[in-house]
């Protein structure tokens, strides 16, 4: 490990990065069991306030940590993440644990096996000590759920952590270990990462096999550092035949993130084209990020947003219909259990025609076309991650209106539909000290390049505020 300053030397074990944990295990500075006990004590102080976890299993984690400690003691770790604590989002199956999808209306049936990314994490030796919470069916950018307790943001407990990877965002920002796995179909990794001050990576579509697979749906890391994000990607971006939409195996160098911004063509998108306008603090942070790259030699040009009202409303219609397909199969008693916001939104699709729904889905291809055209002229794109700084913890979305549910995802959702890799990284803070995310987008399949740009930005952005601490007793 690198020589530590006095300040670094007193860093709690639960605050160490995955990279430093592995180095510490190898140097026999501490063991996985010691790290886990420190982590469990830290979670005990935070969790009554955050409510970020589901299927929390400290006893199972202790057994796994003891086995990892024995392996490290013998100099035979089982994989690149041996002994590293990890959480996995509710909707990513782990063997023996029900998958409620954040909804009381879903029947609780233990999963028969690990989904692909969870299987890769377990094979790498990580300790999956808990799942993390999410809203009903993953269709909210919020910690609000009919099944889970309300998740809150550790930077300000009155604020929302975002979603749908809500518990993962809260857990990562609060220091529930270094690695957290979320999913993203419209911004569900990047949005909570932005509102929680994290690195949240949406890889190219198909880079990380997932089950069930769906158009635009990816699994991705939520971490405090870019290096930890890359370490996790090196584990989960491995082939699995269960995902018929996954990319062919490719020997990517996830450790090779050194990238010079010099002479790169970067677009700055401050206006998404539709949806909520970016608040003043959000714009200022995005502009500051662009200027940092410009000072490092990049050629920065402001570009127009690519999303239109027809595109956003079309996606909304299609997703409403997709949601109603699920909800309409429930009994009236089961439907009554669904979060009212979600049910009202989904039920409205009953009035849509088949042509309306097809027209909505076809907006996916329209978005792909304009995204491809944009990246003919650019190497990378910088934008805000979300248009707003924060919103109340008990709101279902930044508008809190089921008839206007996606006004806040206009910076993020295009890249799910176009399949481009995109990362949210903390760009700065508002006047009250709340984090504001900046998004960096690259061409399809340029996952290493996007993380390289995020790594470069870590060095350009300057000192960050300390991570939040648990409320005093």
Q: Which amino acids are annotated catalytic?
A: 89, 164, 188
Contact 130, 87 (CB under 8 A): yes
- Return the closest-CA partner of residue 443 out of 391, 389, 394, 373: 373
Measured distance CA(293)–CA(337) in Å, rounded:
49
The values of phi and psi at residue 372, to 5°, are: -60, -40
Q: Is the four-CA dihedral 276, 279, 284, 285 of positive or negative sign?
A: negative
Edge-first strand listing for the sheet containing 422-429: 53-54, 127-132, 85-89, 179-184, 218-223, 199-202, 422-429, 435-442, 380-384, 265-268, 299-302
Q: Is the four-CA dihedral 125, 130, 136, 140 of positive or negative sign?
A: negative
396: Cα within 13 Å, side-chain hemisphere: 21
Contact 323, 394 (CB under 8 A): no
Measured distance CA(26)–CA(28) in Å, rounded:
5
Contact 183, 218 (CB under 8 A): yes
């Amino acid at each position: 490990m690198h020589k530590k300053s006095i300040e670094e030397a007193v860093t709690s074990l639960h605050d160490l990065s995955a990279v430093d944990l592995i180095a510490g295990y190898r140097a026999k500075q501490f063991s996985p069991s010691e790290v886990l006990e420190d982590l469990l004590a830290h979670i005990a102080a935070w969790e009554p306030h955050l409510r970020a976890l589901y299927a929390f299993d400290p006893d199972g984690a202790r057994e796994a940590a003891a086995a990892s400690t024995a392996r490290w003691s013998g100099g035979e770790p089982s994989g690149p993440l041996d002994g590293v604590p990890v959480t996995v989002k509710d909707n990513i199956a782990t063997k023996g644990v029900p998958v409620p999808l954040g909804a009381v209306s879903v029947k609780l049936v233990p999963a028969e096996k690990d989904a692909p990314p969870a299987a890769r994490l377990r094979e790498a030796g990580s300790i999956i000590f808990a799942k993390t919470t999410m809203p009903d069916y993953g269709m909210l950018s919020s910690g609000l759920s009919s099944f889970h307790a309300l998740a809150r943001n550790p930077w300000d407990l009155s604020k929302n952590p975002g979603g749908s990877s809500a518990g993962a965002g809260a857990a990562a920002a609060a220091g529930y270990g270094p690695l957290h796995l979320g999913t993203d179909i419209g911004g569900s990794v990047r949005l909570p990462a932005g509102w929680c001050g994290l690195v949240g990576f949406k890889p190219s579509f198909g880079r990380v096999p997932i089950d069930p697979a769906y158009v635009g749906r990816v699994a991705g890391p939520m971490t405090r550092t870019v290096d930890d994000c890359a370490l996790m990607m090196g584990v989960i971006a491995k082939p699995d035949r269960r995902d018929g939409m996954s990319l062919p195996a490719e020997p990517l160098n996830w450790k090779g993130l050194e990238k010079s911004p010099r002479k790169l063509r970067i677009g700055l998108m401050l206006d998404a084209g539709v949806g909520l306008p970016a608040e003043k603090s959000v714009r200022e942070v995005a502009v500051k990020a662009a200027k940092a790259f410009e000072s490092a030699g990049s050629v920065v040009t402001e570009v127009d947003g690519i999303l239109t009202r027809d595109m956003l409303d079309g996606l909304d219609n299609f997703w409403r219909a997709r949601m109603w397909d699920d909800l309409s199969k429930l009994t009236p008693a089961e439907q009554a259990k669904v979060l009212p916001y979600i049910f009202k939104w989904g039920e409205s699709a009953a009035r849509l025609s088949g042509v309306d729904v097809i027209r909505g889905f076809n907006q996916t291809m329209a978005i792909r076309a304009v995204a491809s055209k944009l990246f003919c002229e650019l190497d990378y794109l910088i934008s805000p991650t979300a248009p707003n700084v924060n919103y109340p913890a008990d709101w279902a979305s930044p508008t809190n209106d089921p008839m206007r549910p996606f006004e806040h995802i206009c910076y993020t959702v295009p890249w799910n539909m176009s399949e481009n890799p995109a990362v949210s990284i903390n760009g700065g803070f508002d006047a009250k000290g709340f984090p504001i995310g900046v998004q960096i987008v690259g061409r399809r399949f340029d996952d290493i390049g996007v993380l390289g740009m995020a790594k470069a930005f870590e060095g350009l952005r300057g000192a960050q505020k300390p991570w939040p601490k648990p409320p005093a007793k």
